[in-house]
Structure 1
Amino acid sequence: MGKTDMQTIKYLICLFALLVVLITIFQSETNTYPSNGVINWKGQDWYLMDGKSDPGDNYWNKTGAWIDNQNRLHLTVVKDKGIWNCTTLMSQDTYLYGTFTWTVASPVYTFDKNSVVGLFTYLNDSQELDIETTRWSETEGNQLWYSVQPAKIEGNTQGYQVPLSITGTNTIYKIEWKPTYVRFTSMQENGEIIADFNYTNVSGIPQQPENVMMNLWLLAPPSDGKNIELIISDFTITNE
Protein backbone atom coordinates (compact mmCIF):
# COMPACT_ATOMS: atom_id res chain seq x y z
CA MET A 1 0.00 0.00 0.00
CA GLY A 2 1.43 3.34 -1.04
CA LYS A 3 1.80 6.50 1.00
CA THR A 4 -1.05 8.15 -0.88
CA ASP A 5 -3.38 5.25 -0.09
CA MET A 6 -2.52 5.45 3.62
CA GLN A 7 -3.22 9.18 3.65
CA THR A 8 -6.57 8.58 1.96
CA ILE A 9 -7.57 5.95 4.52
CA LYS A 10 -6.58 8.22 7.43
CA TYR A 11 -8.56 11.03 5.87
CA LEU A 12 -11.65 8.84 5.48
CA ILE A 13 -11.37 7.63 9.10
CA CYS A 14 -11.15 11.21 10.35
CA LEU A 15 -14.07 12.21 8.15
CA PHE A 16 -16.17 9.33 9.50
CA ALA A 17 -15.33 10.21 13.10
CA LEU A 18 -16.31 13.84 12.46
CA LEU A 19 -19.59 12.71 10.89
CA VAL A 20 -20.43 10.61 13.96
CA VAL A 21 -19.76 13.59 16.23
CA LEU A 22 -21.90 15.89 14.10
CA ILE A 23 -24.79 13.38 14.05
CA THR A 24 -24.62 13.03 17.84
CA ILE A 25 -24.66 16.81 18.28
CA PHE A 26 -27.51 17.20 15.82
CA GLN A 27 -29.60 14.53 17.54
CA SER A 28 -29.08 16.09 20.96
CA GLU A 29 -30.18 19.44 19.58
CA THR A 30 -33.43 18.12 18.12
CA ASN A 31 -35.05 18.00 21.55
CA THR A 32 -38.00 20.40 21.66
CA TYR A 33 -38.83 22.51 24.69
CA PRO A 34 -41.87 24.66 25.55
CA SER A 35 -42.06 28.23 24.32
CA ASN A 36 -44.08 30.55 26.57
CA GLY A 37 -45.69 27.53 28.21
CA VAL A 38 -46.73 25.87 24.94
CA ILE A 39 -45.31 22.78 23.22
CA ASN A 40 -46.43 21.22 19.93
CA TRP A 41 -46.82 17.44 19.83
CA LYS A 42 -48.88 15.03 17.76
CA GLY A 43 -50.29 17.75 15.55
CA GLN A 44 -51.49 20.28 18.11
CA ASP A 45 -50.35 22.71 20.78
CA TRP A 46 -50.35 21.64 24.42
CA TYR A 47 -50.55 24.26 27.15
CA LEU A 48 -48.58 23.81 30.35
CA MET A 49 -50.02 24.90 33.68
CA ASP A 50 -48.04 27.12 36.04
CA GLY A 51 -48.60 28.58 39.49
CA LYS A 52 -49.97 26.63 42.46
CA SER A 53 -53.30 24.79 42.39
CA ASP A 54 -55.07 21.44 42.58
CA PRO A 55 -54.76 18.59 42.12
CA GLY A 56 -52.71 18.17 45.27
CA ASP A 57 -52.17 21.89 45.82
CA ASN A 58 -48.99 21.48 43.79
CA TYR A 59 -46.63 23.92 42.16
CA TRP A 60 -46.75 23.57 38.36
CA ASN A 61 -43.88 24.11 35.96
CA LYS A 62 -44.68 25.52 32.51
CA THR A 63 -41.26 24.29 31.32
CA GLY A 64 -41.70 20.82 32.85
CA ALA A 65 -42.29 18.95 29.57
CA TRP A 66 -40.11 18.36 26.52
CA ILE A 67 -39.95 16.20 23.37
CA ASP A 68 -36.91 14.05 22.60
CA ASN A 69 -35.40 13.17 19.22
CA GLN A 70 -37.67 10.10 19.01
CA ASN A 71 -40.75 12.36 19.28
CA ARG A 72 -41.51 11.07 22.78
CA LEU A 73 -43.09 13.42 25.31
CA HIS A 74 -41.41 13.76 28.73
CA LEU A 75 -43.23 15.04 31.84
CA THR A 76 -41.29 15.76 35.01
CA VAL A 77 -41.48 16.25 38.74
CA VAL A 78 -38.38 18.21 39.72
CA LYS A 79 -37.20 19.78 42.96
CA ASP A 80 -35.99 23.34 42.42
CA LYS A 81 -34.83 25.58 45.29
CA GLY A 82 -36.61 23.38 47.80
CA ILE A 83 -39.93 23.28 45.90
CA TRP A 84 -41.29 20.26 44.04
CA ASN A 85 -42.59 21.31 40.62
CA CYS A 86 -45.08 19.09 38.77
CA THR A 87 -46.30 19.08 35.16
CA THR A 88 -49.75 19.30 33.53
CA LEU A 89 -50.54 19.66 29.81
CA MET A 90 -53.89 20.51 28.20
CA SER A 91 -54.72 20.03 24.52
CA GLN A 92 -55.46 22.93 22.20
CA ASP A 93 -58.43 21.04 20.73
CA THR A 94 -61.56 19.74 22.43
CA TYR A 95 -63.39 16.51 21.58
CA LEU A 96 -66.86 15.07 21.96
CA TYR A 97 -66.50 11.27 21.93
CA GLY A 98 -63.71 9.26 20.34
CA THR A 99 -60.97 6.82 21.31
CA PHE A 100 -57.95 8.28 23.07
CA THR A 101 -54.85 6.06 23.20
CA TRP A 102 -51.58 6.63 25.04
CA THR A 103 -48.45 4.48 24.89
CA VAL A 104 -46.31 4.89 28.00
CA ALA A 105 -42.61 3.98 27.91
CA SER A 106 -41.90 4.42 31.64
CA PRO A 107 -42.35 1.77 34.39
CA VAL A 108 -45.25 3.68 35.95
CA TYR A 109 -46.31 0.93 38.38
CA THR A 110 -42.94 1.29 40.11
CA PHE A 111 -43.13 5.09 40.47
CA ASP A 112 -42.95 6.61 43.94
CA LYS A 113 -46.03 5.91 46.07
CA ASN A 114 -46.71 9.65 46.42
CA SER A 115 -46.84 10.30 42.67
CA VAL A 116 -49.84 10.26 40.31
CA VAL A 117 -49.81 9.82 36.53
CA GLY A 118 -53.02 11.10 34.91
CA LEU A 119 -54.24 10.48 31.35
CA PHE A 120 -57.71 11.93 30.93
CA THR A 121 -60.34 14.09 29.26
CA TYR A 122 -61.56 17.14 31.15
CA LEU A 123 -64.24 19.82 31.09
CA ASN A 124 -64.58 20.39 34.83
CA ASP A 125 -64.22 18.39 38.04
CA SER A 126 -67.64 16.78 37.50
CA GLN A 127 -67.15 15.98 33.81
CA GLU A 128 -63.92 14.08 33.49
CA LEU A 129 -62.77 10.62 32.34
CA ASP A 130 -59.63 9.44 34.14
CA ILE A 131 -56.95 6.81 33.87
CA GLU A 132 -54.51 7.14 36.76
CA THR A 133 -51.54 5.12 37.91
CA THR A 134 -50.85 5.73 41.60
CA ARG A 135 -50.74 4.04 44.99
CA TRP A 136 -52.34 7.07 46.68
CA SER A 137 -49.38 7.10 49.12
CA GLU A 138 -49.93 3.46 50.17
CA THR A 139 -47.02 1.02 50.06
CA GLU A 140 -49.25 -1.80 48.78
CA GLY A 141 -52.56 -2.17 46.98
CA ASN A 142 -54.02 -1.02 43.69
CA GLN A 143 -51.79 0.86 41.25
CA LEU A 144 -54.24 1.44 38.36
CA TRP A 145 -57.52 3.37 38.51
CA TYR A 146 -60.37 4.24 36.16
CA SER A 147 -62.84 6.97 37.06
CA VAL A 148 -65.85 8.77 35.65
CA GLN A 149 -66.16 11.91 37.73
CA PRO A 150 -67.59 12.54 40.26
CA ALA A 151 -65.61 9.55 41.56
CA LYS A 152 -67.49 9.54 44.88
CA ILE A 153 -70.62 8.16 43.17
CA GLU A 154 -70.84 4.41 43.65
CA GLY A 155 -69.72 2.52 40.56
CA ASN A 156 -67.83 5.46 39.06
CA THR A 157 -64.35 4.30 40.12
CA GLN A 158 -62.56 0.99 39.70
CA GLY A 159 -59.11 0.16 41.09
CA TYR A 160 -56.86 -2.72 40.04
CA GLN A 161 -53.88 -4.43 41.62
CA VAL A 162 -51.36 -5.06 38.88
CA PRO A 163 -49.04 -8.10 39.22
CA LEU A 164 -45.48 -7.21 40.26
CA SER A 165 -44.24 -8.83 37.06
CA ILE A 166 -45.81 -5.94 35.12
CA THR A 167 -43.85 -2.74 35.76
CA GLY A 168 -45.85 -0.55 33.37
CA THR A 169 -43.05 -0.18 30.83
CA ASN A 170 -44.36 0.04 27.25
CA THR A 171 -48.00 -0.19 28.28
CA ILE A 172 -51.01 1.10 26.34
CA TYR A 173 -54.03 2.96 27.78
CA LYS A 174 -57.33 3.65 26.04
CA ILE A 175 -60.45 5.66 26.80
CA GLU A 176 -63.23 4.81 24.35
CA TRP A 177 -65.86 7.49 24.90
CA LYS A 178 -69.27 7.00 23.27
CA PRO A 179 -72.73 8.48 23.99
CA THR A 180 -73.87 5.27 25.72
CA TYR A 181 -70.69 3.90 27.29
CA VAL A 182 -67.11 4.63 28.28
CA ARG A 183 -64.63 1.77 28.05
CA PHE A 184 -61.28 1.98 29.81
CA THR A 185 -58.56 -0.47 28.76
CA SER A 186 -54.94 -0.99 29.75
CA MET A 187 -52.75 -3.54 28.05
CA GLN A 188 -49.20 -4.72 27.71
CA GLU A 189 -47.14 -4.19 24.58
CA ASN A 190 -48.08 -7.66 23.30
CA GLY A 191 -51.80 -6.82 23.58
CA GLU A 192 -52.45 -8.78 26.78
CA ILE A 193 -55.10 -6.98 28.82
CA ILE A 194 -54.06 -5.64 32.24
CA ALA A 195 -57.47 -4.25 33.22
CA ASP A 196 -60.68 -3.45 31.37
CA PHE A 197 -63.80 -1.58 32.59
CA ASN A 198 -66.96 -0.80 30.65
CA TYR A 199 -69.02 2.03 32.17
CA THR A 200 -72.62 2.08 30.98
CA ASN A 201 -74.41 4.54 33.27
CA VAL A 202 -75.56 6.90 30.51
CA SER A 203 -76.56 9.62 32.98
CA GLY A 204 -72.94 9.83 34.16
CA ILE A 205 -71.28 9.99 30.74
CA PRO A 206 -70.08 13.48 29.72
CA GLN A 207 -72.06 14.91 26.81
CA GLN A 208 -70.02 18.05 26.06
CA PRO A 209 -66.63 18.57 24.37
CA GLU A 210 -63.60 18.13 26.61
CA ASN A 211 -59.87 18.80 26.45
CA VAL A 212 -57.34 16.01 26.65
CA MET A 213 -54.94 16.31 29.57
CA MET A 214 -51.83 14.57 30.84
CA ASN A 215 -50.16 15.19 34.16
CA LEU A 216 -47.56 14.00 36.65
CA TRP A 217 -48.14 15.26 40.17
CA LEU A 218 -47.63 14.62 43.87
CA LEU A 219 -49.75 13.81 46.89
CA ALA A 220 -46.69 14.57 49.05
CA PRO A 221 -42.96 14.95 48.35
CA PRO A 222 -41.49 11.76 46.80
CA SER A 223 -40.74 9.29 49.60
CA ASP A 224 -37.30 8.60 48.10
CA GLY A 225 -36.54 12.29 47.58
CA LYS A 226 -35.84 11.77 43.86
CA ASN A 227 -37.06 13.58 40.75
CA ILE A 228 -39.53 11.68 38.54
CA GLU A 229 -39.75 11.51 34.76
CA LEU A 230 -42.64 10.11 32.72
CA ILE A 231 -42.14 9.26 29.04
CA ILE A 232 -45.17 9.01 26.75
CA SER A 233 -44.05 7.55 23.44
CA ASP A 234 -47.29 7.92 21.48
CA PHE A 235 -50.79 9.40 21.57
CA THR A 236 -53.62 9.07 19.06
CA ILE A 237 -57.27 10.10 18.74
CA THR A 238 -59.79 8.38 16.52
CA ASN A 239 -63.48 9.27 16.07
CA GLU A 240 -64.71 5.90 14.88
Structure 2
Amino acid sequence: MKRIYVIVFTLLLSALVENANAQGKTIKWSGYTWHVKEPAEATGPGPNYWSGNNVWVDGSGWLHLKVSKNATTGRWECAEVASTVSFGMGTYQWQIDADVDKFDKNLVLGLFDYSGTDARDEIDIEFARWGNSEYPNLNYTVYPKVGGPPKHTSYSTEFTSPNGTYTTHKFIRTANSVTFKTLYGHVNDEPRDNLFMSKEFKSPAVSISNVAMPVLINLWLFKGLAPTDDKPFEVIIHSFKFTAQ
Protein backbone atom coordinates (compact mmCIF):
# COMPACT_ATOMS: atom_id res chain seq x y z
CA MET A 1 0.00 0.00 0.00
CA LYS A 2 2.83 2.38 0.90
CA ARG A 3 4.43 1.76 -2.49
CA ILE A 4 1.13 2.70 -4.21
CA TYR A 5 0.98 5.99 -2.26
CA VAL A 6 4.55 6.77 -3.30
CA ILE A 7 3.75 6.09 -6.96
CA VAL A 8 0.60 8.24 -6.83
CA PHE A 9 2.45 11.07 -5.09
CA THR A 10 5.24 10.91 -7.67
CA LEU A 11 2.75 11.07 -10.54
CA LEU A 12 0.95 14.03 -8.98
CA LEU A 13 4.21 15.85 -8.39
CA SER A 14 5.28 15.19 -11.97
CA ALA A 15 1.95 16.56 -13.25
CA LEU A 16 2.32 19.70 -11.15
CA VAL A 17 5.83 20.33 -12.42
CA GLU A 18 4.73 19.73 -16.01
CA ASN A 19 1.84 22.16 -15.56
CA ALA A 20 4.13 24.79 -14.04
CA ASN A 21 6.55 24.42 -16.94
CA ALA A 22 3.67 24.73 -19.41
CA GLN A 23 2.67 28.02 -17.79
CA GLY A 24 6.19 29.37 -18.33
CA LYS A 25 7.70 32.57 -16.99
CA THR A 26 5.55 35.21 -15.30
CA ILE A 27 6.25 38.72 -14.05
CA LYS A 28 4.51 41.06 -11.63
CA TRP A 29 3.82 44.52 -13.02
CA SER A 30 1.31 47.33 -12.52
CA GLY A 31 -0.60 45.33 -9.93
CA TYR A 32 -1.13 42.26 -12.12
CA THR A 33 0.61 39.01 -13.02
CA TRP A 34 1.64 38.56 -16.67
CA HIS A 35 2.64 35.52 -18.73
CA VAL A 36 5.81 36.07 -20.78
CA LYS A 37 5.74 34.65 -24.29
CA GLU A 38 8.75 32.42 -25.05
CA PRO A 39 7.87 29.46 -27.31
CA ALA A 40 10.68 27.37 -28.75
CA GLU A 41 9.59 27.90 -32.36
CA ALA A 42 8.55 30.94 -34.37
CA THR A 43 4.88 31.84 -33.87
CA GLY A 44 2.53 34.69 -34.70
CA PRO A 45 2.24 37.50 -34.96
CA GLY A 46 4.87 37.77 -37.64
CA PRO A 47 5.70 34.94 -37.30
CA ASN A 48 8.56 35.77 -34.95
CA TYR A 49 10.82 34.26 -32.35
CA TRP A 50 10.10 35.42 -28.78
CA SER A 51 12.42 35.67 -25.79
CA GLY A 52 11.78 36.05 -22.08
CA ASN A 53 15.11 37.88 -21.92
CA ASN A 54 13.49 40.72 -23.86
CA VAL A 55 10.97 41.34 -21.07
CA TRP A 56 11.81 42.76 -17.64
CA VAL A 57 10.64 45.14 -14.91
CA ASP A 58 13.18 47.67 -13.66
CA GLY A 59 13.73 49.10 -10.16
CA SER A 60 11.21 51.88 -10.84
CA GLY A 61 8.50 49.32 -11.60
CA TRP A 62 8.49 50.05 -15.34
CA LEU A 63 8.02 47.33 -17.95
CA HIS A 64 10.66 47.01 -20.69
CA LEU A 65 9.98 45.27 -24.02
CA LYS A 66 12.79 44.81 -26.50
CA VAL A 67 13.37 43.58 -30.04
CA SER A 68 16.94 42.35 -30.45
CA LYS A 69 19.16 40.01 -32.46
CA ASN A 70 20.31 36.86 -30.70
CA ALA A 71 24.10 36.76 -31.04
CA THR A 72 24.14 32.96 -30.81
CA THR A 73 21.39 32.04 -33.28
CA GLY A 74 21.41 35.15 -35.46
CA ARG A 75 17.63 35.36 -35.08
CA TRP A 76 15.71 38.48 -34.25
CA GLU A 77 13.64 37.99 -31.09
CA CYS A 78 10.57 39.89 -29.90
CA ALA A 79 8.67 40.44 -26.66
CA GLU A 80 5.11 39.87 -25.43
CA VAL A 81 3.24 39.70 -22.14
CA ALA A 82 -0.37 38.66 -21.47
CA SER A 83 -2.34 39.25 -18.28
CA THR A 84 -3.37 36.20 -16.27
CA VAL A 85 -6.77 37.79 -15.62
CA SER A 86 -9.46 38.94 -18.04
CA PHE A 87 -11.05 42.38 -18.23
CA GLY A 88 -14.49 43.49 -19.38
CA MET A 89 -16.18 46.84 -19.79
CA GLY A 90 -14.20 49.86 -18.64
CA THR A 91 -11.18 52.03 -19.42
CA TYR A 92 -7.84 50.50 -20.45
CA GLN A 93 -4.87 52.85 -20.19
CA TRP A 94 -1.14 52.58 -20.98
CA GLN A 95 1.56 55.20 -20.32
CA ILE A 96 4.47 54.81 -22.73
CA ASP A 97 8.03 56.15 -22.85
CA ALA A 98 9.32 55.64 -26.41
CA ASP A 99 9.74 57.37 -29.76
CA VAL A 100 6.61 55.71 -31.09
CA ASP A 101 6.42 58.22 -33.93
CA LYS A 102 9.92 57.26 -35.10
CA PHE A 103 9.48 53.48 -35.29
CA ASP A 104 11.21 51.53 -38.02
CA LYS A 105 8.72 50.55 -40.73
CA ASN A 106 8.97 46.88 -39.67
CA LEU A 107 8.42 47.46 -35.95
CA VAL A 108 5.01 46.99 -34.29
CA LEU A 109 3.88 47.90 -30.76
CA GLY A 110 0.53 46.41 -29.77
CA LEU A 111 -1.66 47.40 -26.82
CA PHE A 112 -4.81 45.30 -26.88
CA ASP A 113 -7.22 42.82 -25.41
CA TYR A 114 -7.76 39.52 -27.17
CA SER A 115 -9.93 36.45 -26.64
CA GLY A 116 -7.56 34.05 -28.40
CA THR A 117 -9.84 33.56 -31.42
CA ASP A 118 -8.27 34.97 -34.59
CA ALA A 119 -10.14 37.90 -36.16
CA ARG A 120 -12.74 37.88 -33.37
CA ASP A 121 -13.19 39.60 -29.99
CA GLU A 122 -10.13 41.85 -30.12
CA ILE A 123 -9.53 45.58 -29.61
CA ASP A 124 -6.17 47.04 -30.69
CA ILE A 125 -4.02 50.12 -30.44
CA GLU A 126 -1.00 49.54 -32.69
CA PHE A 127 1.94 51.68 -33.68
CA ALA A 128 3.03 50.24 -37.00
CA ARG A 129 3.65 51.12 -40.64
CA TRP A 130 3.24 47.49 -41.72
CA GLY A 131 6.46 47.43 -43.72
CA ASN A 132 5.68 50.58 -45.74
CA SER A 133 7.21 53.87 -44.60
CA GLU A 134 4.39 55.78 -46.36
CA TYR A 135 1.64 54.20 -44.23
CA PRO A 136 0.24 56.13 -41.23
CA ASN A 137 1.68 54.86 -37.96
CA LEU A 138 -1.23 54.98 -35.45
CA ASN A 139 -3.87 52.29 -35.86
CA TYR A 140 -7.11 51.65 -33.96
CA THR A 141 -8.90 48.37 -34.72
CA VAL A 142 -12.06 46.63 -33.49
CA TYR A 143 -12.49 42.99 -34.44
CA PRO A 144 -16.10 41.74 -34.45
CA LYS A 145 -17.60 39.50 -31.82
CA VAL A 146 -18.13 35.83 -32.60
CA GLY A 147 -21.09 35.61 -34.96
CA GLY A 148 -20.52 39.17 -36.20
CA PRO A 149 -19.51 40.31 -39.70
CA PRO A 150 -16.39 38.77 -41.27
CA LYS A 151 -14.31 41.96 -41.43
CA HIS A 152 -12.82 44.18 -38.75
CA THR A 153 -13.21 47.96 -38.56
CA SER A 154 -10.15 50.19 -38.31
CA TYR A 155 -8.88 53.75 -38.43
CA SER A 156 -5.33 54.93 -39.11
CA THR A 157 -3.65 58.32 -38.88
CA GLU A 158 -0.16 59.81 -38.69
CA PHE A 159 0.97 60.41 -35.11
CA THR A 160 3.76 62.83 -34.22
CA SER A 161 5.05 63.62 -30.76
CA PRO A 162 6.88 66.97 -30.84
CA ASN A 163 7.07 67.30 -27.05
CA GLY A 164 8.98 64.19 -26.03
CA THR A 165 8.60 60.45 -25.59
CA TYR A 166 5.88 60.37 -22.90
CA THR A 167 2.45 59.48 -24.29
CA THR A 168 -0.80 58.02 -22.92
CA HIS A 169 -3.06 55.66 -24.85
CA LYS A 170 -6.44 54.29 -23.87
CA PHE A 171 -9.68 52.79 -25.03
CA ILE A 172 -13.03 52.77 -23.30
CA ARG A 173 -15.16 49.66 -23.80
CA THR A 174 -18.91 49.73 -23.29
CA ALA A 175 -21.54 47.24 -24.44
CA ASN A 176 -22.23 49.39 -27.50
CA SER A 177 -19.04 51.30 -28.27
CA VAL A 178 -15.25 51.51 -28.16
CA THR A 179 -13.64 54.95 -27.89
CA PHE A 180 -9.89 55.27 -28.49
CA LYS A 181 -7.83 58.18 -27.18
CA THR A 182 -4.17 59.15 -27.69
CA LEU A 183 -2.70 61.92 -25.55
CA TYR A 184 0.61 63.69 -25.11
CA GLY A 185 2.38 63.25 -21.78
CA HIS A 186 1.50 60.94 -18.90
CA VAL A 187 -1.98 62.01 -17.84
CA ASN A 188 -4.83 60.22 -16.08
CA ASP A 189 -7.47 62.74 -17.06
CA GLU A 190 -7.93 64.15 -20.56
CA PRO A 191 -6.81 67.80 -20.70
CA ARG A 192 -7.78 69.31 -24.05
CA ASP A 193 -4.25 70.53 -24.79
CA ASN A 194 -2.90 66.98 -24.40
CA LEU A 195 -5.43 65.22 -26.62
CA PHE A 196 -4.03 64.18 -30.01
CA MET A 197 -6.89 61.97 -31.17
CA SER A 198 -10.25 60.57 -30.08
CA LYS A 199 -12.09 58.07 -32.25
CA GLU A 200 -15.36 56.29 -31.46
CA PHE A 201 -16.55 52.97 -32.96
CA LYS A 202 -20.22 52.41 -32.27
CA SER A 203 -22.70 49.53 -32.55
CA PRO A 204 -24.66 48.49 -34.58
CA ALA A 205 -22.48 49.86 -37.40
CA VAL A 206 -19.51 48.15 -35.73
CA SER A 207 -19.73 44.72 -34.08
CA ILE A 208 -18.60 45.29 -30.45
CA SER A 209 -17.38 42.35 -28.35
CA ASN A 210 -18.84 41.89 -24.87
CA VAL A 211 -16.38 39.12 -23.90
CA ALA A 212 -14.01 39.53 -20.94
CA MET A 213 -10.48 39.13 -22.30
CA PRO A 214 -6.83 39.18 -21.20
CA VAL A 215 -4.73 42.25 -21.98
CA LEU A 216 -1.66 41.76 -24.17
CA ILE A 217 1.30 44.02 -24.88
CA ASN A 218 3.80 43.12 -27.57
CA LEU A 219 6.73 44.51 -29.53
CA TRP A 220 7.36 42.58 -32.73
CA LEU A 221 8.49 42.61 -36.34
CA PHE A 222 6.10 42.75 -39.28
CA LYS A 223 6.34 39.45 -41.21
CA GLY A 224 9.41 38.68 -39.07
CA LEU A 225 11.45 41.20 -41.06
CA ALA A 226 14.51 42.71 -39.36
CA PRO A 227 14.57 46.46 -38.62
CA THR A 228 15.90 48.28 -41.67
CA ASP A 229 18.72 49.81 -39.60
CA ASP A 230 19.58 46.36 -38.15
CA LYS A 231 19.50 47.83 -34.62
CA PRO A 232 17.67 46.64 -31.48
CA PHE A 233 14.78 48.72 -30.14
CA GLU A 234 13.25 49.07 -26.69
CA VAL A 235 9.96 50.42 -25.36
CA ILE A 236 9.34 51.34 -21.72
CA ILE A 237 5.79 51.17 -20.39
CA HIS A 238 5.41 52.96 -17.08
CA SER A 239 1.96 51.63 -16.26
CA PHE A 240 -1.18 49.83 -17.30
CA LYS A 241 -4.41 50.75 -15.54
CA PHE A 242 -7.89 49.30 -15.86
CA THR A 243 -10.92 51.07 -14.43
CA ALA A 244 -14.11 49.01 -14.51
CA GLN A 245 -17.20 50.66 -15.90
TM over 0.5: yes
The runs of at least 4 aligned residues of structure 1 exceeding 4 Å deviation read: none
Residue 229 of structure 1 aligns with an amino acid whose one-letter code is E
* Residues paired across the two proteins, number: 204
RMSD: 2.0
How many angstroms apart in 1 are the aligned matches of 2:32 and 2:162? 35
For 1:55, the equivalent position in structure 2 comes to: 45
Residue 239 of structure 1 aligns with an amino acid whose one-letter code is A
How many angstroms apart in 2 are the aligned matches of 1:196 and 1:152? 25
Tell me by how many angstroms 1:166 deviates.
5.9
- The answer to whether the Cα contact below 8 Å between 1:116 and 1:133 also exists between their aligned partners in 2 is yes
User: The residue matched to 1:109 in structure 2 has which SS?
Assistant: helix
- The answer to whether the Cα contact below 8 Å between 1:109 and 1:134 also exists between their aligned partners in 2 is no
1:226 pairs with 2:231: yes
User: The residue matched to 1:222 in structure 2 has which SS?
Assistant: coil
Tell me by how many angstroms 1:164 deviates.
6.5
- The answer to whether the Cα contact below 8 Å between 1:73 and 1:232 also exists between their aligned partners in 2 is yes
- The answer to whether the Cα contact below 8 Å between 1:48 and 1:63 also exists between their aligned partners in 2 is no
For 1:138, the equivalent position in structure 2 comes to: 132
- The answer to whether the Cα contact below 8 Å between 2:101 and 2:160 also exists between their aligned partners in 1 is no
For 1:193, the equivalent position in structure 2 comes to: 195
2:59 to 58, 65, 69: 69
How many angstroms apart in 2 are the aligned matches of 1:164 and 1:193? 11
User: The residue matched to 1:63 in structure 2 has which SS?
Assistant: helix
2:84 to 64, 79, 92: 92
**What are the ranges of 5 or more consecutive residues in structure 1 without an aligned counterpart?**
1-34
Residue 129 of structure 1 aligns with an amino acid whose one-letter code is I
Tell me by how many angstroms 1:140 deviates.
2.7
Call closer, same or farther: CA 1:164–1:105 in 2, change over 3 Å.
closer
1:110 to 102, 105, 114: 102
1:45 pairs with 2:43: no
- The answer to whether the Cα contact below 8 Å between 1:106 and 1:231 also exists between their aligned partners in 2 is yes
How many percent identity over aligned positions?
A: 31
Call closer, same or farther: CA 1:141–1:85 in 2, change over 3 Å.
same
Tell me by how many angstroms 1:97 deviates.
1.0
For 2:16, the equivalent position in structure 1 comes to: none
TM-score (norm 1): 0.80
For 1:173, the equivalent position in structure 2 comes to: 169
Tell me by how many angstroms 1:69 deviates.
1.3
How many angstroms apart in 2 are the aligned matches of 1:181 and 1:205? 6
How many angstroms apart in 2 are the aligned matches of 1:111 and 1:225? 13
TM-score (norm 2): 0.78
Tell me by how many angstroms 1:230 deviates.
0.7
- The answer to whether the Cα contact below 8 Å between 2:161 and 2:184 also exists between their aligned partners in 1 is no
- Name which one, 1 or 2, has greater alpha-carbon Rg: 1
User: The residue matched to 1:100 in structure 2 has which SS?
Assistant: strand
What CA deviation, in whole Å up to 9, does each residue of 1:124-146 have, x standing for no partner? Answer: 22110000001111223311000
- The answer to whether the Cα contact below 8 Å between 1:78 and 1:84 also exists between their aligned partners in 2 is yes
**What are the ranges of 5 or more consecutive residues in structure 2 without an aligned counterpart?**
1-22
How many angstroms apart in 2 are the aligned matches of 1:85 and 1:163? 27
How many angstroms apart in 1 are the aligned matches of 2:88 and 2:171? 12
**TM alignment of 1:150-169, pairs within 5 A:** 153=151, 156-163=153-160, 165=162, 169=165
User: The residue matched to 2:139 in structure 1 has which SS?
Assistant: strand
How many angstroms apart in 1 are the aligned matches of 2:137 and 2:197? 11
